[in-house]
Structure 1
Amino acid sequence: TGRIAKQLYPKADIKITGFEKADYPDDFFDIVIGNVPFGNYKVSDKRYDRHNLLVHDYFFAKSIDKVRQGGVIAMITTNGMSGGTFDKRDSKARRYIAQRCDLLGAVRLPSGAFEDAELPTDILFFQKRERQRDLTADMPDWVQTTIIHESDHVKENGEVRHNIVTENNYFLEHPEMVLGKQEVVNGQFGPQLVCLPTEGNLREKLKNAVSHIQGTIENTGFYELEEDIDATVIPADPNVKNYSYTLVDDTVYYRENSVMKPVDMKDSMLERIKGMVEIRDCTQELIRVQ
């Protein structure tokens, strides 16, 4: 599919590689949309290994770093046996997200919404904050879950296993965002929460649910779409850090989100910036080689 996409969109930067190997710059994209992989395993990525995140949570964490402040993340994630990102008892991943993002809204789809997908899925919408949130003073309610089922199971060896099923507080407070009937059923690994299909057109239900999600995204300036475009403005180089200087054909540019603009300063100051940029680039190259 990646090779097909390259043929269909030759001007797009399409990488056929694992997300952990993709070298996209931080604070660059306006929006990230994806259907993340799900599983009870982790991805090796030095930058995120210390957070000990499962693969689906890792995709959220890295996506947050790639969008700019005010950027939006819209992800489909399976709720799964272990409760997925939103329902599991362990709030570590949600705390990580809450420090960096605001929740715009979430929609829970019933099982079977996607072909060959029997488990329920969530569509989660987040917006990246300008500053990280202090969770000790401001803990969003959706970070927490509520126990909705408890039961004991006696194994053949006499050992008693205590089973607990939790649900995210957001869905408890917003049942209109659950597009099915939720029940606790006995699964392969014990009780689990499922979302069963109900009568009605799922597409219309989804359209209605999404209408409840409120949010705005600021225009960062798609100058190429404007009639009075300044010819000196160029698309941002992904390799240039946002809000920093760079050299293009011996001209000093300043990157701001998706574009780079030539800097208008005195010649003496421009020469000083050029020298500092060259020193910075040389230092970064030495670090990379080492």
Structure 2
Amino acid sequence: MLTDDEYDSARRSVLNAHFTDPAIVIKMWEALQHMGFQGGRLLEPGMGAGYFWSLIPPELAGATRLSGVELDLITGRIAKLLFPKADVRVQGFEEFQIPDDYYAAAMSNVPFGEYRPFDPKYQKHRFTIHNYFFAKTLDKVQPGGVVAFITSRYTMDSKTGVRMRQYLAARADLLGAIRLPNTAFKKVAGTAVTTDIIFLRKRHVGEEVGGENWAELGSIDVKVEGRTQPMPLNEYFVQHPEMMLGTMEFTGTQYRKDEPTLAPKEGNLADQMAEAIEALPRDVMVPEDMGTDVDMPQTIMAPDTVKEGAFVMEGGKLMRRRSGVLIPARNAQGKAYTGVTLKRIKALIEIRDAARTVLTAQLTDETDADIHKSQADLTKVYDRFVRRFGAINQKSGARRLNLEGFRDDPDLQLVANLENIQLVDEEERFVKADLFTQRVLSPPKPIQHAEKPEDAELQLGLFDTRGRQIKGWTNKLIWGDNKLILSSLKNGPLREEIEVQGGLKLIYIDPPFNMGADFSMGIEIGGDTFTKKPNILEEIAYRDTWGKGADSFIAMIYERLVLMRDLLADEGSIFLHIGPNVSHYVNTVLDEVFG
């Protein structure tokens, strides 16, 4: 009995559930060995239950670290049970996070379809699912590594696929392709489709382009009812007809009545594949790191609390988060950190984590006792660091040696700002920042009330005849004229409270952009584009509503900045979100108002 989640997962994946004849899988392994694969890290996206893995040659089994991705929950769980030592991810390939240039090779029978997965890294290309699998997998394979994919013939023959083939050809050499007859999957999958096995070798940086030409289409002549008719065909197969294990002809299929199809030729398909494999380049795989150390631990997923790029200690080793996983930390020369630099980084990790604990305690409104304890822990690790290495920001000439190894950590500034610099007799001294002893953050508080005056009379009712706010407020959202509200803050009863607090610490301004742009979004479905009619709020939020010219825009900004100047704390900040066409003028205004 399936749960609702399992049923939904199975229903989503049914269109791409496919099976591969074991004879073809065996030959694909032989092809990888022919090209030089002797073991290492191997990726299979869209792995199913691990059918390819179950047929791995014995001589490769002990030398290969298997990683796979499967969308379907049930199938993925089966794969986990069948291959407990492998790294099996039950998720969509678009959610799969692993560093680029990681695997020695990849193989799969990739899903095929016209829908486009969402992955921010590749979104500008708008790849269909099969093209997306090619592009992302190629990035994950190391330079010198090979991608071997079974795919529909449309990857090679589609007229609209030229740009995609050019994309791949710019990054990898086509070692060759084998076109399988439309009967190749009929026995195990019950389908009659023409498919290709494509072999790509990722180029090293600076390596000259090589391999076969395959981006463009050519044509061949095909006999149809006694007359010759041209058939579009990938230029690779035009030049290498021997790599097509059959005869191309027009045949009626489930897709169209004149579908180009590879009809089988007489003989054993496995023997024909073996002959085609011999025609492929031999021993061309030269990955930078085959990853043959099969005793190394499986991929370590980074905890959500670790930021992208952050240093972290894991199992006594210095690691960094890259693309959602932990990998060994390396310096700019690609070498492991050692000696005093390694010791400094370890100590700075302790300080960083202790500082983040203090901030979290303050943001989550923990008790004063808990906050004081976290501050004491921070003081302890900081003092220990100073005794061993000196102040965090201590300089040697122009260099801050204690921070040099830590520069790539995303919390570098947090750690550096734990010290304040004081000048005593023209000498710099480093003292602890307020975070060690004071509450510097307050937990966010919910909006207690929201006003939306329906007309000008109600809006003016919030203020007295001099434009001053009648009632004070805390965490209150007001829908009204911002200039009037700023004036009220400056002149009304809340001014005294603001002054007691030392002024406003942060002001964020997000005016219209004065660009005449429409920031609403259209939706594309099946080639048709739809634009939702915006409601009143969306009309204001997503459309440029200024349209009065740059002069009046600058005047509007100037008036409000003058009001803010008297409200802002000495150490306060103003953030302005404005369009590039007025940024220069606004910078000039800021200089005039704030000096």
TM normalised by structure 1 equals 0.73
Q: Secondary structure at the match of 1:204?
A: helix
Q: Secondary structure at the match of 1:69?
A: strand
Do the aligned residues in 2 keep the contact of 1:32 with 1:72 (CA within 8 Å)?
Answer: yes
Structure whose residues are more often strand by fraction: 1
* Structure 1 residue aligned with 2:148: 74
Q: Secondary structure at the match of 2:106?
A: strand
Structure 2: distance between partners of 1:67 and 1:247 = 25
* Structure 2 residue aligned with 1:39: 113
Gap change, CA 1:225 and 1:92, over 3 Å in 2: closer
Gap change, CA 1:254 and 1:221, over 3 Å in 2: farther
Among 176, 182, 197, the alignment partner of 2:264 is 197
2:86 pairs with 1:12: yes
* Structure 1 residue aligned with 2:429: none
* Structure 2 residue aligned with 1:59: 133
Structure 2 residue identity aligned to 1:143: A
Structure 2: distance between partners of 1:104 and 1:140 = 6
Among 198, 211, 218, the alignment partner of 2:286 is 218
Q: What is the number of residues matched between the two proteins?
A: 254
TM-superposed CA distance for 1:248, in Å, is 3.6
Any stretches of 5+ residues in structure 1 without a counterpart? 151-162, 227-232, 284-290
Structure 2: distance between partners of 1:5 and 1:11 = 11
Gap change, CA 1:51 and 1:181, over 3 Å in 2: same
Task: Report Cα offsets for 1:60-111 as digits up to 9, x if no partner.
Answer: 01111111111110000012xxxx1111123011011001111111000000
* Structure 2 residue aligned with 1:86: 156
TM-superposed CA distance for 1:245, in Å, is 9.9
Structure 1: distance between partners of 2:284 and 2:120 = 33
TM-superposed CA distance for 1:196, in Å, is 0.3
* Structure 2 residue aligned with 1:125: 199
Q: Secondary structure at the match of 2:409?
A: helix
Do the aligned residues in 2 keep the contact of 1:105 with 1:126 (CA within 8 Å)?
Answer: yes
* Structure 2 residue aligned with 1:142: 214
Among 253, 260, 263, the alignment partner of 2:336 is 263
Among 181, 184, 200, the alignment partner of 2:250 is 184
2:352 pairs with 1:280: no
Gap change, CA 1:128 and 1:190, over 3 Å in 2: same
Q: Secondary structure at the match of 1:142?
A: coil
Gap change, CA 1:88 and 1:253, over 3 Å in 2: same
Structure whose residues are more often helix by fraction: 2
Structure 2 residue identity aligned to 1:107: I
* Structure 2 residue aligned with 1:106: 177
Structure 1 residue identity aligned to 2:270: R
Q: Secondary structure at the match of 1:280?
A: coil
Structure 2: distance between partners of 1:203 and 1:45 = 37
Task: Report Cα offsets for 1:142-166 as digits up to 9, x if no partner.
Answer: 111114479xxxxxxxxxxxx9842
Structure 2: distance between partners of 1:245 and 1:50 = 28
Do the aligned residues in 1 keep the contact of 2:175 with 2:211 (CA within 8 Å)?
Answer: no
Gap change, CA 1:3 and 1:61, over 3 Å in 2: same
Structure 1: distance between partners of 2:312 and 2:213 = 46
TM-superposed CA distance for 1:5, in Å, is 1.3
Percent identity between matched residues is 33
Structure 2: distance between partners of 1:213 and 1:68 = 20
Do the aligned residues in 2 keep the contact of 1:99 with 1:133 (CA within 8 Å)?
Answer: no
Gap change, CA 1:270 and 1:190, over 3 Å in 2: farther
Do the aligned residues in 1 keep the contact of 2:146 with 2:200 (CA within 8 Å)?
Answer: yes
Structure 2: distance between partners of 1:108 and 1:130 = 27
TM normalised by structure 2 equals 0.38
Higher relative contact order (CA 8 A, sep 6+): 1
Map 1:161-172 to 2 at 5 A.
165-172=231-238
Do the aligned residues in 1 keep the contact of 2:174 with 2:211 (CA within 8 Å)?
Answer: no
Q: Secondary structure at the match of 1:118?
A: coil
Q: Secondary structure at the match of 2:411?
A: helix
Structure 2 residue identity aligned to 1:168: N
TM-superposed CA distance for 1:216, in Å, is 2.1
TM-superposed CA distance for 1:199, in Å, is 0.6
Do the aligned residues in 2 keep the contact of 1:111 with 1:118 (CA within 8 Å)?
Answer: yes
Structure 2: distance between partners of 1:168 and 1:143 = 8
Structure 2: distance between partners of 1:186 and 1:235 = 48
Structure 1: distance between partners of 2:285 and 2:211 = 23
Task: Report Cα offsets for 1:228-275 as digits up to 9, x if no partner.
Answer: xxxxx8777576xxxx995545654699xxx85983644257636975
